[in-house]
Structures are given as C-alpha cells and as structure tokens.
Amino acid sequence: MKKLMRSLAGETLPVPPIWMMRQAGRYLPEYRATRAEAGDFLSLCYNSDLATEVTLQPIRRYGFDAAILFADILLVPQALGADLWFVTGEGPRLSTITDAEGMAKLKGPDDIHEHLAPIYQTVRNLASALPSETALIGFAGAPWTVATYMIAGRGTPDQAPAHALKDGNRPVFEALLDRITAATIEYLDMQVQAGAEVVKIFDSWAGSLKGDDFQRYALEPAKQIIAELKRRHPTLPIIAFPREAGQGYVGFHAATGADCVAVDDSVSAEWVAEHLQPHGCVQGNLKSSHMVTGGADLVSEVRRIRDALSKGPHIFNLGHGITPDADPENVALMIETLREHA
C-alpha cells in the first residue's frame, strides 16, 4: 500500500509521507514556463495536458509521496454559472451572488460536469501517468470558503461581505451554501470516478467562523460532503482542512468523519499530538516561510514537527500553501531532513 494511504488508514510510520500544498506552483521555473505556454491561469487549469504536466513536475523533481490535482477551488462557482477571471498580481474576481435573484441564475449541482470535464480528464491522465508509489489527491474548496468569494466577488481580509449576508439574509446565504455543498459532492465524486485515491476539502477561511457559526457553516457542510462521498465510495480516505480553526480542530475527526485533519501553523505540533492525533491521522504543519528562508531553522523545525508527531499517523506538509518566493532548494532540504536516517 502507498505510504500516504497507510497513514490515512491510521498506521504510524517511521518516516511520514510528505507532499506540499500548492506544490505545483509559481516557485518552480518549469511551472512558470508551462503557464506561459498556456497563456493564463484559467487556460492552464482547463488544458488537461498542461495541467497534467504541472502536476507531475514536482513529483519528478522531488519524489513527493502524493500528487495533488492542479486546479482551483473557484472552478466550481464558474461551473455553477458565476463569471470568473483573474487579475494579474491581484487574484480572482467573480460576479457576485448576494440575493435571491442571483441564486436563481445559478445552475444545479448536476449541471456542472460538462464545464468541468477537462478537470476530470486531468485526473484520468494523472491516474495513468503517476509512479506506482505516488498517491493521487483530488480536492475542492469547502462551501463556506467558496461562498466567501462568490459573495464578495474576490478574496477579502476578513470575509466581511459573507458575514454580512449571513447575518442579514440568512435564507439566501444558506441556500448558497447548500448549492455549493451539493455541487462539491458531485465534483469530488467525479474526481474519484476518474482515479483520485484521496480527496481533500480546503476550508481556507474556516477560522473567521466563530461559535455556532463554525459548527453550522464549517463543520456541518464538511460532515455532509464526507458522509455522502463515503456512502458512494466506502473506502475513500478524506482529508479536511478547516484552517485556523483553533479549538475547533478538537473533535473534528469524529464530528465530520474525516480520516485526516490538516492543521495550519498557528497551533504547535505538540498541541496537535496531544489533542488531535489520538483521534486519527493529522497533516501539517511547517510554516511556509521556512521555504523562503531555509537554513538551520528549517532543518530544526522539520525535525521538531516530525518528532512531535512520531507516535501516531502523520502526513508531513506545510501549514498553508508554498509561496511564489520560495526557494526550490529549500523544498529539497525539507524532504532530505524529513527522510534522514530512513
């Protein structure tokens, strides 16, 4: 069995498997060359051959234990009917959904597949192209995080437009979350049918939900998605990432049915070992900045996290995605340090 799958099944390994969020990305010169060939980011996402190529690039260079599909969490809103474009240097822009009229214009969850067919083809390509020891991870954004972009039309520092709609027009807000939840199930189901062996649900803005809102709009949608995917695919391992959840991480395995909970770097590996790891596999949580600065601090932090989480199932990863200013040599140093004495 592949190393990643063994950890997800609850096995404690002498050296944990490793992959990296955004491992196919702008820090790699070969990625930048392929993106230039594609013309722009969305064209790269929807070109199955080029998306396959950029997914494979970090596997060839580093020998990660898993590849994650190259795509974007905002392809689902686009498939539902939202306009989506990217502004160079600023990020995504979307047409906004803030009222019942906007909701009425969205497609149903069963109507997204034609638009997303190139993504499913990329998964099929990868399933046949990856080395036999490398696991293939599919993914989607969690409903709350995707909704924050659909409501604001862009990324925001505090998700204020989404909170305002939640508090001011709860029926529309909840209808939007329900639509995204249903579409996400269909999207991930098709990724699994195409060959994804694991799926991950990214809730990048979960930390801005507090109290009951966290339970209702981060935890509950994750629970719904996981339950339905496991009904359709009983052996499918699922990773959930409610970033910056803090105390909300505690009990997240059991409450949602996730096989693995990924953690950001705002909590320590020692805290994770005490509060989360006894309940299932954990993933994380090296600070992304170490991929920029490198050196002795990188080596010592990799060893600290590895050792702190060595008594239970662990997948080594960053606490968030690698940044464009990272040094590819530091990625190699991270992997070498993790696997020393193996």
Residue range 169-225, pLDDT digits in tens: 999 999 999 999 999 999 999 999 999 999 999 999 999 999 999 999 999 999 999
| pLDDT value, residue 122 | 99
| pLDDT value, residue 341 | 78
**HEC profile for 168-215?**
HCHHHHHHHHHHHHHHHHHHHHHHHHHCCCEEEEEECCHHHCCCHHHH
- Distance of alpha carbon 54 from alpha carbon 226, whole angstroms: 28
CA torsion angle for 290, 292, 293, 294 (degrees, to 10)?
Answer: 60
The one catalytic residue among 72, 259, 264, 265: 72
149 labelled catalytic: yes
CB 220 within 8 A of CB 240: no
CB neighbour list of residue 234: distance below 8 Å, 6 or more residues apart: none
Q: Tens digit of pLDDT per residue, the chain (342 long)?
A: 999 999 999 999 999 999 999 999 999 999 999 999 999 999 999 999 999 999 999 999 999 999 999 999 999 999 999 999 999 888 999 999 999 999 999 999 999 999 999 999 999 999 999 999 999 999 999 999 999 999 999 999 999 999 999 999 999 999 999 999 999 999 999 999 999 999 999 999 999 999 999 999 999 999 999 999 999 999 999 999 999 999 999 999 999 999 999 999 999 999 999 999 999 999 999 999 999 999 999 999 999 999 999 999 999 999 999 999 999 999 999 999 999 976
The one catalytic residue among 6, 22, 243, 306: 22
Count of Cβ atoms closer than 10 Å to residue 329 Cβ = 10
| pLDDT value, residue 268 | 98
| pLDDT value, residue 59 | 98
| pLDDT value, residue 206 | 98
CB 268 within 8 A of CB 304: no
154 labelled catalytic: no
CB neighbour list of residue 96: distance below 8 Å, 6 or more residues apart: 102, 150, 151, 152, 153
| pLDDT value, residue 172 | 98
Phi, psi of 135 (to 5 degrees): -80, 150
26 labelled catalytic: yes
**Helices and strands, counts by H and E, the chain:** 17, 9
| pLDDT value, residue 88 | 83
Tokens of 108: 């149903």
72 labelled catalytic: yes
CB 301 within 8 A of CB 287: yes
CB neighbour list of residue 305: distance below 8 Å, 6 or more residues apart: 269, 284, 285, 286, 316
- Distance of alpha carbon 172 from alpha carbon 240, whole angstroms: 26
User: Nearest-CA neighbor of 311 among 278, 262, 334, 271?
Assistant: 278
The one catalytic residue among 35, 124, 216, 304: 35
The one catalytic residue among 31, 46, 62, 149: 149
Domain ranges, ordered by start, for the chain: 3-338
Q: Report DSSP state, residue 24.
A: S
124 labelled catalytic: no
| pLDDT value, residue 201 | 99
Phi, psi of 200 (to 5 degrees): -125, 140
- Distance of alpha carbon 253 from alpha carbon 259, whole angstroms: 7
- Name the CATH architecture for the domain at 3-338: Alpha-Beta Barrel (3.20)
Count of Cβ atoms closer than 10 Å to residue 244 Cβ = 20
